[in-house]
Structure 1
Amino acid sequence: MKAFVRRFMSSPEGIAGALVLLLLALAAVLAPIILPGDPAAIVGRPLLPPFSDASFPLGTDQLGRDVLTRLVYGAQASLTVGLSSALVAILAGTLVGTVAGLAGGLVDEALMRVVDAFQIVPGFLLALAFVSVAGPSLAVIVLAVGLGAWTGPARLARAEVLSIRERDYVASARVIGMHPAEIAFREVLPNALPPVLSLVSVIVAAAVLIEAALSFLGLGDPNAVTWGGMIAEGRNLLRSAPFLSIIPGLGLVSAVVGIYLFGEGLVEALSIRGRRA
């Protein structure tokens, strides 16, 4: 672990991404403390431009709500959806890929055809259809994004398992009578998981963008403040108050860029570790 951290810290991209994500995460977690007000509350004169009033550093929207408060609470929704969707996709994909790789035969063939069926549908369209049917909420969006993202981890996990199951230590485990489930979770899965984890950054970034797109289309959680919803609310005032869309747009861009940079550092550290192993 110390060697991995040292390799990650040697990556400028990884450090930059980690700092951006740390800042966003702190803002999201500490939002009720640093900005205890209700993000939906009308607190000032409508359409105050940024930096014109010390009480509202980023101005107010068309209803008089504080843009800074809404921006920070929007980070909560985006990071929650991104991380939760990645967790769902990694868990589901790794489980399916591990079972397919170890079982082989008809089980492998059947599971891979299911993966193909999900993979031919674009993730955003799948999420759009799922949310339209099930109704907009953060939990539904997490499941919808996870349904569109689990196929990548499944294929990668299967490929790793197919390679690992032929190695000597797995054969030794079979010889001593270890149960197949124990072989899968003690011998195979820990070694197959690191390459799969390299997909986390891609899944999180895609989930943040999909959530923003759904909110922009009016399919986001109506009870949560989201960056996509803020952009959508400001689009009718682009000429008179462009900051209403630009500010949450910059928040969205910074989150996605930070995630990708962090992912680059993570992949680099994992690949170096793999080469040296």
Structure 2
Amino acid sequence: MLRDLMRRPEALIGGAILMLLILIAVLAPVLAPGDPLAIAGRPLIPPLTDAAHPLGTDRLGRDLLAGLIHGARTSVTVGLAAALVAIGVGMVVGTAAGFAGGFADEALMRVVDAFQIVPGFLLALAFVSVSGPSLGVVILAIALGAWTGPARLARARVLSLRETEFVAAARVLGMHPAEIAFRQIMPLALPPVLTLTAVIVAGAVLTESALSFLGLGDPNVVTWGGMIAEGRNQLRSAAWLSIIPGIALVLTVVSTYLFGEALTDTLTGRRQA
């Protein structure tokens, strides 16, 4: 599968950008030591005019490159954590609904429908507004709007697996239904659900940036959305304050979608073969 994936140019481009982003996020304390929110120089230094601040500074004198690096760390953390929570919750709910069937299936699917009615961003916006802005709350808020897709996909996969011979054999051996569902069936239902990871991560990065742009992000961390919002008042005189983090955000989302589409096509092609 890895060889098939690496033959796709979109996988190579998207994967290279994502690996670079993850590397920057991991090495952020080394690449930009200190507090990225601290004043580092005089305000509004243009990019490429000061060796100490290659990307310039904002209106308060904070280093833009340091903010960009630590913003990458925030985006990677939110994207991966939200995807992990969403897929975890979706797998548990989808597996329970598909294996139990009957009233339990109907009840759980109505809960899924209720969450799907509300757009994910509005749900996150309301949750963060009520609970208060913090990184953990933002991650949970994004996951609340993203777990329904994995739940539906997991349920569909479990419905096809619960009638197989190995499940019947497990029942004959006297295994508990919960053990059959979560130890025997759920691992087999996981691979198709993992194809949604890229979409969830990209959506989480965009949602976190939008919340930060509206002032609902964690005020104690640097975010690309917050940097874009900070620079919107200087668009005429210092457009780079919003353009640079905006480019980083676009590259991250596009590369995630490219890699995700290549991974989905590869998995689909191998299953059909």
Give the deviation of 1:172 after TM superposition.
2.2
Runs of 4+ in 1 over 4 A off after TM superposition: none
Task: Select the residue among 68, 78, 93 that pairs with 1:71.
Answer: 68
Q: Is the 8 A contact 2:53 2:64 kept in 1?
A: yes
- 1:108-156 CA distance string (max 9 Å, x none): 0000000010000000000000000000000000000000100000011
Alignment of 1:88 onto 2:85: yes
Task: Select the residue among 18, 22, 26 that pairs with 2:19.
Answer: 22
Structure 2 stretches lacking a partner, 5+ long: none
Give the deviation of 1:44 after TM superposition.
1.4
Report the residue type matching 1:143 in the other structure.
L
Give the deviation of 1:55 after TM superposition.
1.3
Aligned residues: 273
Q: Is the 8 A contact 1:15 1:265 kept in 2?
A: no
Report the residue type matching 2:212 in the other structure.
S
**Rounded Cα–Cα distance in structure 2 between residues aligned with 1:43 and 1:174:** 66
Task: Select the residue among 139, 148, 162 that pairs with 1:142.
Answer: 139
Match runs of 1:109-124 below 5 Å: 109-124=106-121
Task: Select the residue among 206, 214, 217 that pairs with 2:214.
Answer: 217
Give the deviation of 1:34 after TM superposition.
1.6
Task: Select the residue among 149, 157, 161 that pairs with 1:160.
Answer: 157
Per mean C-alpha deviation after superposition, the further-off stretch among 35-44 and 170-179 is 170-179
Equivalent position SS for 2:207: helix
**Rounded Cα–Cα distance in structure 2 between residues aligned with 1:163 and 1:216:** 43
Give the deviation of 1:275 after TM superposition.
1.8
What residue in structure 1 maps to residue 35 of structure 2?
38
- 1:63-98 CA distance string (max 9 Å, x none): 111100000000111111111000010000010000
- 1:10-35 CA distance string (max 9 Å, x none): 22111211110111111111111121
The normalised TM-score by structure 2 is 0.97
Report the residue type matching 1:201 in the other structure.
A
Report the residue type matching 2:77 in the other structure.
T
Give the deviation of 1:219 after TM superposition.
0.3
What residue in structure 2 maps to residue 105 of structure 1?
102
Report the residue type matching 1:235 in the other structure.
R
Structure 1 stretches lacking a partner, 5+ long: none
Identity %, equivalent residues: 68
**Rounded Cα–Cα distance in structure 1 between residues aligned with 2:126 and 2:138:** 11
Give the deviation of 1:270 after TM superposition.
1.5
Q: Is the 8 A contact 2:95 2:182 kept in 1?
A: no
